Structure 1
Amino acid sequence: MAVTGNALDIKLTRRVLNYARPYKGIFYWAVILTISLAIVAPLRPYLVEYTVDHFILFNDTNGLLRMTGLMIAVILLQTIIQYNHTYFTNWLGQSVIKDIRRDTFDHITNLRLKYFDNTPIGTLITRTVSDLETIADVFSEGLISIIGDILQIITIIAFMVYTDAVLTLVVLAPMPLLIGATYVFKEAIKSAFQDVRQQVTRLNTFLQEHITGMFVTQLFGREEQEFNKFKGINRAHRRANIRSNWYYSIFFPVVELISAMSVGLLVWWGSKEIIGDKISPGVVVSFLMYINMLYRPIRELADKFNTLQMGFVSAERVFKVIDTDEITPNKGTLKPAVLKGEVEFENVWFAYNDEHWVLKDLSFNIKPGETLALVGATGAGKSSTINILNRFYEIGKGSVKLDGVDVREYELNYLRSSIATVLQDVFLFSDSIYNNISLKNDKITHEQIEQAAREVGAVDFIKRLPGGFEYNVMERGATLSVGQAQMISFIRALVYDPKILVLDEATSSVDTETEELIQNAILKLMQGRTTIVIAHRLSTIQNADKIIVLDKGEIKEMGNHQELLKLNGFYKRLYDLQFNSVGIKV
């Protein structure tokens, strides 16, 4: 049973074991092997006792040879069982964490962006990698091994009592000391292991953030300061591990000392009993072996119990991610064969938290094939508008409709595949250009991708790259220019043939020549599609059918370019700032 805090968590134990259900054959086989080991292990001391008392004391060479052969056979049998036990318990553990990791990653990919806003990526990496490896130890070194050790202890004590009950009581007299030491060690190492896991999480989080943001670190010359921060986290990680190792360095010698006490009592009492002709020498020899075999699993039991305990602590953390309800509610079922592309916001209120409204009573309509531009200062709510259209976040009040139907009624993947969003900051995976465009969608052919590249004017630069469409762009598209990465994002949008296109200032970070190419690609993409453009440069949206000026989440003005200029309001001031400041006549 899982131990979380001071309580036994049967529910958590059952949940972990449920993942072993598809492999119950291997699980039962591992249990059988565990029981077999517990039975076979004590046979050797018994055979040694029999050999000493019946053959060695009587100089029976033939009998000694027969017993030697029998003991070799028992050792070989034990070796085979131990090999299979180790292999199958580890196989079981790795199979279980494969399934848990699959479920964890599947759940993470379905979480809303709000969850990632509040959760460090390094924490999720720790949960899906190192925490899951700890869960594997529940099967390979924890639960089944603990059962095996307990069975072995019971079997050994049974053999000892059967051989000589009084001698058993004498040699086990120090056992209460061992039980007390084991309990103290278990509690201490539990706290140390929890500290180790926490420091691993801190280390992973720091490394992920700072390796990803290395450009900023070097740009502002913060290498030394960030290195000093890392040294502090690294020292804390070292201290946590040293602390756990320190408890081991105390506990194991204590066990050896108590074991030596049992051996000393055996020598004292056994010698007296042999002299008094009450027991045979073979009994003392076998008890020496029993003591060694008894204390080894007891010594490891505390360690394995903590392995089990930390495995369940890790399982609790992983299941906390899996149980996170930050997933999009009501994923919908509607998947119409034809989508016109009409978008309507009706009295929409939205907040990233319950206290501060980002969008306030937003209402507008975009007819199929029209282009809507959103303008306004940073923080006005432009990006939030497209995020709720894609249902990355859920609105607080009002409704967002597509073709007159609430977006919550559409099947989520269908909805998002119908809306292509081209961001200013293009994200590319460390993979080929082909896979970055198709996203490994088997329905998209190489011919479609090449045709789309030709239509947006990108095929020439792609074919000049080594390997063409098979060229690896490396992490985040590091080997491409900003403009090239942007062109690939346009191809990706085109091959998915969306009905609605969202452009988040897609030309703000490129040079004039590349911007001209991108503008041509944009015109191609916009043909026959409802388009929403987030613009900072007003020159790019003067031909939009409708322009909405947002300020602090509210619509201040709405109309086309000429209509808004005549209002002499927010839009006119923005226009004058951008054009008059550089000497362009309005």
Structure 2
Amino acid sequence: MPKNSIKQDENINNISNKDLLIRLFSYLKPYKLRVFLILILLIYVMLCGLLNPYLMKIAIDKYISSKNLQGLILLAIAMFILNFLSMIASKTSIQMLSKVTNKILLKIRQQLYEHIQKLSFSFFDNRPVGKILARVIGDVNSLQELFSTSLTSFIPEILTLICVTFIMFYMNFVLALMAIIVIPFLSITLFSIETISRKRWQNYRRKRSNLNAYTHEDFSGIKIIQGFSEEEKTSRSFLVLTKDMMDSFVKAVRLNDSFWPIVTLSSGVGTILVFFYGISLLKSNRITIGTMVAFIAYISMFWRPIINISNFYNTLITNFAAGERIFEILDIKPDITTIKNDIMPKITGTVEFKDLTFSYNNDATILNKLNFKIYPGETVALVGPTGSGKTTIVNLISRFYDPTKGSVLIDNINIKYVNLESLRSQMGIMLQDTFLFSSTIMENIRYGKLDATDEEVIAASKSANAHAFIMNLENSYNTEVNERGSRLSVGQRQLISFARALLANPRILILDEATSNIDTHTEKLVQSGIQKLLTGRTSFVIAHRLSTIRNADRIMVIDKGNIAESGTHKELMKLKGLYYDLFMSQYKFLD
């Protein structure tokens, strides 16, 4: 997948109008009965509208001309009943349509959200979060008008247009011909505008996505912005992106607005031709006044559906870009897929890398033909320079990524062949980037085991030595931590994350810089809890603070994508190689 930055326009694959409409309206299938009832009601409303001019013709030619008051009253009562029922039918259809449309949008948004959750880390690595949010929120909302107008405008108006055209030709062939003579010109013009307009709306949505992504990142890093007094700079960037979005919107709307003058002009020309020829027919007594009045009414009814259909066509063009952006995400296949989807048996803890090579997006190689085997219950520390591949190794064990070449085996089973949930549910992961949700401390820790009792959560917190500081908070375990845990210190957030990993009671434990932000006093307390946790399970510990991994069963020094050294702390110190240099440099620095 190509990388995309905040200010870079996204490249979206164009979908043909036909395919896009088929995919969009496939969401109507579960509501076929309701849609059918809505159409029946709308058709009734349409027929009432069609009958009114004809009933007016009868009133003029039959009852008014003969001064038949009784017949006129009965006709008026019939028209009132028909139109009253039409009003009720119209209101009912709008309410039903609103419910169907909202359910469809709910389904699309849920489907999109669930699909994004299944996508691998590479998808999120290459796309700003703000641009993903623009698809889930803004683009889905844009489809609401499309679904509502398709039923209220397109289908009923097409039927109205057909019926009115038939009635006009039935009443007078030449007058009808005069009314529709400009339709070919109108169709060609609108089709030409659509080609350009769609590209402009695509550009607008790209610019809006850029603004959304920038705003999301800006507010996420507000402490850095204020800390370095960069508010003025970010405001200028925001203004540039806002102007880009505004300009693209104005260009798109300006072209769309040309629809109405063209349709109105065509309507005016057609009406003038009908009047011009109709007057000559009246003078020669070839049509009655009632017929002329009815025909004028039908002329209005003929152009109204054309205007509404043009409006629907306009809506299609406006929202096609939103549909393309949604389906572009839905069509992305997850990089991490299970070949057989077998359930992972209870893990004993053997982990093996066989001839494993890995690179991100086919860039520089991070790991090169890596081979090692870890045995059940063994604690392995991964050390090495920044960027050497330590975190990549644990990400591959958790199958956040798949190897470029080679394989990862757990208990001699290639993890590509097992169900992801059954694999990861047996792992406890504490990543370097501590993340807390906008909830209570209790719920954040319980995330490691959703069915855990409060007592189990508290026990895990005590083991991680987080219980003491939690109890000193105003609401203890019910304290809200705010977004990303902003109410807590970095060290406190890491202790809560550690308690979450403890609660999961995993078969394989991964600690990525688990004590990097804990002070020395707290670290001593945590180390006892770590040792209890490490007992009886396979563990991988990444630590830049080498004093914390002295007791590891094996220390693997990763350098330039390979295992440079491997052994216990004492063995590696005697070797006086890379590990010795790293350890001594830290010791001298601390001293």
The normalised TM-score by structure 1 is 0.92
Q: SS state of the match for residue 129, structure 1?
A: helix
User: What's 1:118 paired with?
Assistant: 126
Deviation at 1:136, TM superposition (A): 3.6
1:378 and 2:386 aligned:
yes
- Deviates further, 476-485 or 248-257: 248-257
User: What's 1:47 paired with?
Assistant: 55
Aligned sequence identity (%): 35
Q: Structure 1 pair 339/8, CA: closer, same or farther in 2 (3 Å)?
A: closer
Q: Distance in 2 between matches of 1:288 and 1:104?
A: 49
- Deviates further, 445-454 or 567-576: 445-454
1:554 and 2:562 aligned:
yes
User: What's 2:143 paired with?
Assistant: 135
1:268 corresponds to which letter in structure 2?
Answer: F
- Deviates further, 380-389 or 511-520: 511-520
1:541 and 2:557 aligned:
no
Q: Distance in 2 between matches of 1:336 and 1:246?
A: 58
- Deviates further, 232-241 or 212-221: 212-221
Q: Distance in 1 between matches of 2:574 and 2:448?
A: 49
Q: Structure 1 pair 228/464, CA: closer, same or farther in 2 (3 Å)?
A: same
1:393 and 2:401 aligned:
yes
Q: 1:430-465: CA deviations, max 9, x gaps?
A: 122222222396532223212222333323332333
2:208 corresponds to which letter in structure 1?
Answer: V
Q: 1:511-546: CA deviations, max 9, x gaps?
A: 333434433443343233222111111111111111
Q: Distance in 1 between matches of 2:416 and 2:65?
A: 88
Q: Structure 1: which 5+ residue stretches go unaligned?
A: none
Q: Structure 1 pair 580/423, CA: closer, same or farther in 2 (3 Å)?
A: same
Deviation at 1:223, TM superposition (A): 2.0
Assess if the C-alpha contact under 8 Å between 1:538 and 1:575 holds in 2: yes
Q: Structure 1 pair 472/58, CA: closer, same or farther in 2 (3 Å)?
A: farther
Q: Structure 1 pair 192/410, CA: closer, same or farther in 2 (3 Å)?
A: closer
Assess if the C-alpha contact under 8 Å between 2:259 and 2:310 holds in 1: no
Assess if the C-alpha contact under 8 Å between 1:37 and 1:81 holds in 2: yes
1:568 and 2:576 aligned:
yes
1:504 corresponds to which letter in structure 2?
Answer: D
Q: Structure 1 pair 151/507, CA: closer, same or farther in 2 (3 Å)?
A: same
1:231 and 2:243 aligned:
no
User: What's 1:154 paired with?
Assistant: 162
Q: Structure 1 pair 439/73, CA: closer, same or farther in 2 (3 Å)?
A: farther
Q: Distance in 1 between matches of 2:321 and 2:38?
A: 24
1:543 corresponds to which letter in structure 2?
Answer: N
Q: Structure 1 pair 211/163, CA: closer, same or farther in 2 (3 Å)?
A: same
2:483 corresponds to which letter in structure 1?
Answer: E
Among candidates 201, 216, 219, match of residue 208 of structure 1 = 216
- Deviates further, 198-207 or 58-67: 58-67
Deviation at 1:382, TM superposition (A): 0.4
Assess if the C-alpha contact under 8 Å between 1:92 and 1:139 holds in 2: no
Assess if the C-alpha contact under 8 Å between 2:205 and 2:321 holds in 1: no
Q: Distance in 1 between matches of 2:363 and 2:190?
A: 51
1:199 and 2:202 aligned:
no
Q: Distance in 2 between matches of 1:283 and 1:146?
A: 28
Assess if the C-alpha contact under 8 Å between 2:44 and 2:89 holds in 1: yes
- Deviates further, 223-232 or 504-513: 504-513
- Deviates further, 498-507 or 432-441: 432-441
User: What's 1:255 paired with?
Assistant: 263
Q: Distance in 2 between matches of 1:248 and 1:400?
A: 55
User: What's 2:439 paired with?
Assistant: 431
Assess if the C-alpha contact under 8 Å between 1:38 and 1:155 holds in 2: no
Assess if the C-alpha contact under 8 Å between 2:14 and 2:324 holds in 1: no
Q: Structure 2: which 5+ residue stretches go unaligned?
A: 1-11
Superposed CA RMSD in Å reads: 2.6
Assess if the C-alpha contact under 8 Å between 2:448 and 2:504 holds in 1: no
Assess if the C-alpha contact under 8 Å between 2:344 and 2:419 holds in 1: no
- Deviates further, 481-490 or 240-249: 240-249
Assess if the C-alpha contact under 8 Å between 1:547 and 1:559 holds in 2: yes
Assess if the C-alpha contact under 8 Å between 2:201 and 2:318 holds in 1: yes
1:523 and 2:531 aligned:
yes
Q: Structure 1 pair 581/175, CA: closer, same or farther in 2 (3 Å)?
A: closer
Q: Distance in 2 between matches of 1:473 and 1:458?
A: 14
1:93 corresponds to which letter in structure 2?
Answer: T
Q: SS state of the match for residue 509, structure 1?
A: coil
Q: SS state of the match for residue 547, structure 1?
A: strand
User: What's 2:356 paired with?
Assistant: 348
1:34-183 matches, cutoff 5 A: 34-142=42-150, 145-183=153-191
User: What's 1:327 paired with?
Assistant: 335
User: What's 2:517 paired with?
Assistant: 509
Q: SS state of the match for residue 443, structure 2?
A: helix
1:20 and 2:28 aligned:
yes
1:463 and 2:475 aligned:
no
Assess if the C-alpha contact under 8 Å between 1:421 and 1:501 holds in 2: yes
Q: 1:188-237: CA deviations, max 9, x gaps?
A: 43233222222222222222222222233333333222221211111121
Q: Distance in 1 between matches of 2:89 and 2:186?
A: 29
Q: Structure 1 pair 175/22, CA: closer, same or farther in 2 (3 Å)?
A: closer
Deviation at 1:392, TM superposition (A): 0.6
2:397 corresponds to which letter in structure 1?
Answer: L
Q: Distance in 2 between matches of 1:269 and 1:57?
A: 24
1:278 corresponds to which letter in structure 2?
Answer: R
Deviation at 1:564, TM superposition (A): 0.8
- Deviates further, 401-410 or 391-400: 401-410
User: What's 1:285 paired with?
Assistant: 293
Give structure 1 regions of 4+ aligned residues with deviation exceeding 6 angstroms. Answer: 4-7
Q: SS state of the match for residue 353, structure 1?
A: helix
Q: Distance in 1 between matches of 2:448 and 2:296?
A: 64
User: What's 2:366 paired with?
Assistant: 358
- Deviates further, 319-328 or 494-503: 319-328
Q: 1:340-362: CA deviations, max 9, x gaps?
A: 22222233221113352211122
User: What's 1:448 paired with?
Assistant: 456
Assess if the C-alpha contact under 8 Å between 2:13 and 2:328 holds in 1: no
Deviation at 1:488, TM superposition (A): 1.4
Q: SS state of the match for residue 362, structure 2?
A: coil
1:274 corresponds to which letter in structure 2?
Answer: L
